[in-house]
Amino acid sequence: MNYVVIYDGLCNLCSTLVQALEQLDRGKLFQYIPMQDETALAHWHVTAQDCEMGMILIQADEPDRRWQGSNAAEEIARLLPIGRPFIDAYRAVPGLKGMGDRAYEQIRDNRYAWFGRRDRTYEPHYPDESCTACNRS
């Protein structure tokens, strides 16, 4: 299975995390779309308003399977080779998931103030290749 990660390409934190994930995964499991790429978003039936709630993870071969916000971050971590036991433990501790969700919301809502905003959209090394209509140069 392959997954599409939709992230804020103007957010320093988001772009740095995508770069780290790209180095770990090397495009084997994840491909990426910045939220600023409206053509690619339309291919996946994602709107700019959808993106306001945070990052989105889409299972490419079953596009109705989607995770957003902290759920997307957890699922990405769970899919990494050593991530599953950590995410399972995190989800098993009463109250920890709720705290994580609230922390994600705070980071999402303050990301530019806390981590800065890029001048240009970070273009991934492993872009989503399924969108033939997307103009990539």
Kindly state the tokens that stand for 71. Answer: 């759920």
* pLDDT tens-digit map of 95-134: 999 999 999 999 999 999 999 999 999 999 999 988 665 6
**Rounded-to-integer distance, Cα 127 and Cα 32, Å:** 5
- Tell me the average pLDDT of the chain: 94
**Rounded-to-integer distance, Cα 86 and Cα 5, Å:** 20
Candidates 128, 106, 114; CA nearest to 18 is 128
Kindly state the tokens that stand for 124. Answer: 């991934």
Kind plus residue range of the DSSP H or E element containing 3: strand 3-7
CB 11 within 8 A of CB 115: yes
pTM (2 d.p.): 0.92
CA dist list (Å): 43 to 11, 30, 57, 58: 22, 17, 14, 12
Strand order of the β-sheet with 66-68 is 30-34, 3-7, 56-59, 66-68
pLDDT at position 80 over 80: yes
DSSP string, 75-135: HHHHHSTTHHHHHHHHHHSTTHHHHHHHHHHHHHHHHHHHH-B-SSPPPPSSB--S-TTS-
Q: What is the pLDDT of residue 109?
A: 98
Q: List the domain boundaries for the chain.
A: 3-115
